[in-house]
Chains A and B, each alone.
Chain A
Amino acid sequence: MKKNLLAMSLVIALIPVTANSSTTINGFASIKAGITTGSDEQLYGYDDTLDFKNESLIALQVKSDLGEKLSVTAQLLGRGQDDFDVGFEWAFISYQLSDNMTINAGRLRTPFYKYSDFKDVGYAYDWLRVPQGVYGLGFDSIEGLTFYRTAQLGNIDSTLQLIFGGYDGTASLSGTQVNATIDNVAGITWELAKDAFSARFAYLIGKTSIETTSVSLAPDFTVGNLYQALAANGLSPLVTAIDIDDESSNFTGIGLTYDDSDWIAVAEYTRVEVENSFVATQKNWYASLGKRFNSFTPYISYERENNDAVVSIYQPYTAVLPPQLLVPVQGLVASQERDASTWNIGVRYDFHPSAAFKAQFSSEDNDTLGQRNGLLAFGVDLVF
């Protein structure tokens, strides 16, 4: 913890304070606690012990305007689930090409969703957390370049974003953190807003590799062992069809919002596909409705996840596969099956000009495992 504070103060101390640069420091924090409603239930990293660490976070952002339309922004964020170890969530330089065009380069947020850019800034939205059924994909940051262009089309506000770069980090697979990369990421997002309505469209492509070999399928039997056994049986084409090695991937997202300052309605649909791999195509969506009563905003939302296991990839091989290999192949492919729906009900209470209290109950119905998980969480989001 001391090391983290030292890192933060060093970064702040290193920011030049000269006559020509203006530096601003802002921050946000969330202190949240949660507990599941039953002893055999787990959801979003919580179990039946009250936990204050899992979703708590604190961040400091330093932005230095260097003049001549150039600025540098760094956001340091520490998450309770990582023992508050601080890392750079964003770090980029920004150059304003004109009044309505900006280019940023560095570590950026992958613009999958409407709330991607500020999903850690709980104060910016009403929910206790962004809907995990849609936002739980991972691959949050990429290193690269992004270009923004804003325009007014009649009386519609348009924001166009192009992004290029790559992801180099980890992915969660069957509960194991493994190395993952997405190369040659290219994407476009387009948001249109008029009065209370806004619509957003996102499309990204890339080449995904996930190091699955260390993932355990059974005691002393990993995915890597399976690939070796398949290759030894002359089934290399099946390995190629299953593994996640430089596979063409695409993401499509559509979002709609209505916010007239009394009522707020949001819905997003996303589709994720990693071709030529055991990863199931994910088709997820949510819809949310809230109503503001002065300082109180109660809301209700529903999330749906539908990932069908790609059983077709091993079907041509079922006749030739020995059972001791067919069973683990089936198991690996089936592990990606997910059919779940979640109800959330909660409230935001603006009790302070810079802080909001939130409470949310979530109930996930997992049809794949035949299990229901309930979670009660509450906390405070603030900005400073």
Chain B
Amino acid sequence: MLSRNLAIVLLLAASGTALPVVADIAVIVNPANSTNLTTDELTRLYTGRSSALAAVNIAESSPLRGQFDEKGVGRSSAQLKAHWSKLVFTGKGTPPLELATEAAVIEHVAQNPNAIGYVDASSVTDAVKVVLTLN
């Protein structure tokens, strides 16, 4: 019994090192927000085609940012930056606010009824509501 548990632990440890750790990403809104969010609408919010909610990003230095750009918006970070530079340098849009940490994103979303953000699914607290989980 013990040896079988040990085998499972070893197996998990092995898989953990062999594969990059890619966490589920929770898309979060203010608890007061009753939005039913689709992935399509999420893309629209993070590409500036919708301003129904005020999107916030986590800083580029966080690995979560690149994962969200791919999974949530369907573009690489470089492609999204090229997209936003089209809007910025024609005065047509301002990219989402960037916050340094997941805690700052949770705090911002908890305090702004109109805000939308994302954090690692394991970081979610009661202060915010999860509307989508990307995996």
Contacts and interface: CB of A to CB of B under 8 A. Distances in A.
Interface string B88-107: 11111010000000000000
Interface in A263-313: 292, 294-295
A350 B86 contact: no
B78 A295 contact: yes
A383 B79 CA distance: 13
Interface string B70-89: 00001111110111011011
Contacts of B90: 90, 109, 117-118
A interface: dominant SS:
strand
Contact of A118 (B40, B79, B89, B94): B89
B76 A118 contact: no
Max count, chain A CB within 10 A of own CB: residue among B76, B83, B89 = B89
Interface residues of B, number: 21
A109 to B, nearest CB: 7
Given A99-B51, A157-B49, A124 B82 contact: yes
A63 interface: yes
Interface in A106-165: 109, 117-118, 120-121, 123-125, 148, 150, 155, 157
A18 interface: no
Contacts, number: 65
Given A73-B91, A92-B91, A109-B90, A28 B85 contact: yes
A118 B86 contact: yes
8 contacts: A63-B94, A109-B90, A118-B86, A121-B89, A124-B82, A124-B89, A150-B49, A383-B89
Contacts of A344: none
A353 B91 contact: no
Contacts of A362: none
Given A123-B82, A125-B82, A383-B81, A28 B89 contact: yes
A61 B87 CA distance: 12
B86 A117 contact: yes
Contacts of B82: 123-125
A71 B94 CA distance: 12
Contacts of A94: 91
Given A71-B91, A123-B82, 7 more contacts: A90-B90, A94-B91, A117-B86, A124-B83, A124-B86, A356-B78, A383-B89
